[in-house]
Structure 1
Amino acid sequence: MGIGDVYEVTVGDCTDVHYVDTGMYDVPEYGSVYIIDAERPALVDTGIGARHENILSAMESVGIEPEDLEVIAATHVHLDHAGGAGYLAEDCPNATVYVHEAGKRHLVDPERLWEGTKHAVGDQIEFYGKPVPISEDRIETLTDGDEIDLGDHSLDVMYAPGHAPHQVVFYDPAVDGVFTADAAGIYTPSTDEMHVTTPPINFTLDEALDDVAMLQDLDPEILMFGHYGPAETGDKLETYAEILPKWVAEVERKRAELDDDEAVIDYFVERADTDLWGERKGRAEMRLNVRGVLVALDNREE
């Protein structure tokens, strides 16, 4: 697997779905964008703006011209999932951008989101590319229970606010698969491991666990992770439901011990796994996840 490579989803009975390794943060096997070669061709997520050319190349390899793309479905507006939406809307003039109603304003005017992202990710912002605004008339808003009709496929909208208040997941009945956004955590196919994702500022443990329970009730055959790639569901949701509260409790215990949030962050960053995505990304990922839990703990006490 390599940055920019395009793969057909062959898990289960999946048809007409491909994904591209976007090379987010210059790291392979971290960010994926999905291409549905349906009667109404669609993208699920767009990755960061700086990598939008990879998406266009991936579409071309699947046989979808920019003017043929009809749907850009954003699971949420965090820039690692929707940062390229404005660029792709410009390049694909017939595509409508779909996003949860709480996220629309950030696509129309992404300045606040851009500033917040810079604050959250620090020097990693160099990988992103500043988002491009999208005209309101190019955007359709979504809410729980909606459906995006792709002809021979559909995307059923399920609200999943544990990671962010503008997050949805999409269930495609044609393949019995869910595009999970960040609701099911992070999966690495090369190691077959699940990892937590708890960035600031909107992560809440209870809602995140509710999102996992919702997916468990749906019981899809395939999970199509934004980070990273498709996999059989197996026991992955059960695993995530176990490791997520354990992670939050671990940060909470260390905060009680050290009584200094920066010391808590440093403690975990020094112990970050740097083998998987390299030292820079591994440490940055840990920093984000610890800060997100600390913010969630503060919010719980208010």
Structure 2
Amino acid sequence: MTLPATMRVFERGWLSSNNILFIGRDDTALVDSGYATHAPQTVALVRHALQGRPLDRLINTHMHSDHCGGNAALQREYRCRTTIPASEADAVRTWNQDVLTFELTGQQCERFTYTDTLAPGDAITLGDMEWQVLGAPGHDPHSLVFYCPAERILISADALWENGFGVIFPELEGASGFAETRATLELIASLNVDIVIPGHGAPFTDFDAALKRAFSRLDYFVADPARNAQNAVKVLLKFLLLERQSIPLADVPRLMADMHLSAEANRRYLHQPAEDLAEWAVSQLVRACAAKVVDDRLVNVG
């Protein structure tokens, strides 16, 4: 797999999204900035790769904290033009953390500003290449993906991973998300793609196989929406554990109950006492070797 010389992908850990750096003849740009706790590392990676050049533009595929948590740090470092999805502009301008889902997911993001916006149907030049801006609702109603027809490259954010896609969050609150996810996958399937750069995980080339797995996973959730809720609860706990690295087991029920989306997933679909749900989520992470229990604490693994 060979990317164009003007592109670099920084594959990050699960807590942070991947960062895609473009170094063109006349300007530079970064797509997505990772999580807040990794912001100094993000700045260092960008600074090293740019070798003295400025970062001219920062672009976000969507406003989840693991994709925009480094925005403020990069703005301080470079005073870069910052571009966000148009439908998120009001929430960012007023810093409505409920709409932006930071508080709903128990996550953090330092406040940042934006310069301009992108919407589905727009076109953008990155790394001397022309990219189409496509809407990709499902995981997030406002998410965008970027497609370069000339190079047959898709920057898919959390709409398509090598093994699935991001949690379908709207369904947790009783909104529609499954239909939007299917429409997004069908749109992506209509593209001529050689390389996919996902929001998490390594870039990959087996596009058809990834789509087949994604459609199968969606069918699995649609058949029983509680499965999407269970997946969300595990992911939210894992994200919290990645940030804190260690959590007293006695605190897990309260922390999960305090996360709005986790509580909503339980209220609508799982109907478990807080202690039982916490015990189940902990056991699932341990079973998956994503965590371990040490001296009455849940400890991150990986």
* TM-score (normalised: structure 1): 0.70
Percentage of pairs with the same residue = 20
Equivalent of 1:229, from 198, 202, 205? 202
Q: CA RMSD in A?
A: 3.2
What letter is aligned with 1:261?
L
Q: Is the 8 A contact 1:77 1:103 kept in 2?
A: yes
Q: What is residue 83 of structure 1 aligned with on the other side?
A: 69
Q: 2-side partners of 1:254 and 1:98: how far apart?
A: 31
Q: Deviations over 1:162-203 (max 9, x none)?
A: 22222110113353211111111x44xxxxx44652235566
CA shift, 1:113, in A, is 4.2
Q: 1-side partners of 2:289 and 2:47: how far apart?
A: 28
What letter is aligned with 1:69?
L
Q: What is residue 101 of structure 1 aligned with on the other side?
A: 86
Q: Deviations over 1:125-172 (max 9, x none)?
A: 3xx4x32231xxx42111111012236123320011222222110113
Q: What is residue 291 of structure 1 aligned with on the other side?
A: none
What letter is aligned with 1:162?
G
Structure 1's 41 and 173: CA in aligned 2 closer, same or farther, altered over 3 A?
farther
Residue 229 of structure 1: SS of its match in structure 2?
A: coil
Q: What is residue 221 of structure 2 aligned with on the other side?
A: 247
Q: What is residue 16 of structure 1 aligned with on the other side?
A: 6
CA shift, 1:225, in A, is 0.7
Residue 214 of structure 1: SS of its match in structure 2?
A: helix
CA shift, 1:64, in A, is 4.6
Q: Which aligned pairs between 1:41-60 and structure 2 lie closer than 5 A?
A: 41-60=28-47
Give ranges in structure 2 of 5+ residues lacking alignment. Answer: 230-266, 293-297
Q: What is residue 131 of structure 1 aligned with on the other side?
A: 110
What letter is aligned with 1:155?
W
Larger deviation, residues 72-81 vs 82-91: 82-91
Q: 1-side partners of 2:215 and 2:228: how far apart?
A: 21
Give ranges in structure 1 of 5+ residues lacking alignment. Answer: 1-10, 188-192, 284-302
2:172 is aligned with 1:172: no
Larger radius of gyration: 2
* TM-score (normalised: structure 2): 0.70
Residue 240 of structure 1: SS of its match in structure 2?
A: helix
Larger deviation, residues 75-84 vs 105-114: 105-114
CA shift, 1:261, in A, is 2.6
Q: 2-side partners of 1:215 and 1:254: how far apart?
A: 21
Q: What is residue 110 of structure 1 aligned with on the other side?
A: 95
Q: 1-side partners of 2:288 and 2:7: how far apart?
A: 26
Equivalent of 2:270, from 257, 261, 267? 261
Equivalent of 2:124, from 132, 148, 154? 148
CA shift, 1:227, in A, is 1.2
Residue 155 of structure 1: SS of its match in structure 2?
A: strand
What letter is aligned with 1:120?
T
Residue 33 of structure 2: SS of its match in structure 1?
A: coil
Structure 1's 110 and 250: CA in aligned 2 closer, same or farther, altered over 3 A?
same
Residue 116 of structure 2: SS of its match in structure 1?
A: strand
Q: Give the paired residue count.
A: 248
Q: 2-side partners of 1:259 and 1:77: how far apart?
A: 25
Equivalent of 1:210, from 149, 171, 183? 183
Q: 2-side partners of 1:259 and 1:92: how far apart?
A: 44
Structure 1's 180 and 260: CA in aligned 2 closer, same or farther, altered over 3 A?
closer
CA shift, 1:84, in A, is 1.8
Q: Is the 8 A contact 1:183 1:212 kept in 2?
A: yes
Equivalent of 2:168, from 193, 198, 201? 198
2:78 is aligned with 1:92: yes
Equivalent of 1:61, from 36, 48, 55? 48
Structure 1's 244 and 80: CA in aligned 2 closer, same or farther, altered over 3 A?
same
Residue 30 of structure 2: SS of its match in structure 1?
A: strand
Q: Is the 8 A contact 2:11 2:200 kept in 1?
A: no
CA shift, 1:215, in A, is 0.6
CA shift, 1:12, in A, is 4.4
Q: Is the 8 A contact 1:178 1:222 kept in 2?
A: yes
With a CA cutoff of 8 Å and minimum separation of 6, indicate the structure with the bigger relative contact order: 1
Structure 1's 159 and 172: CA in aligned 2 closer, same or farther, altered over 3 A?
same
Q: 2-side partners of 1:276 and 1:262: how far apart?
A: 23
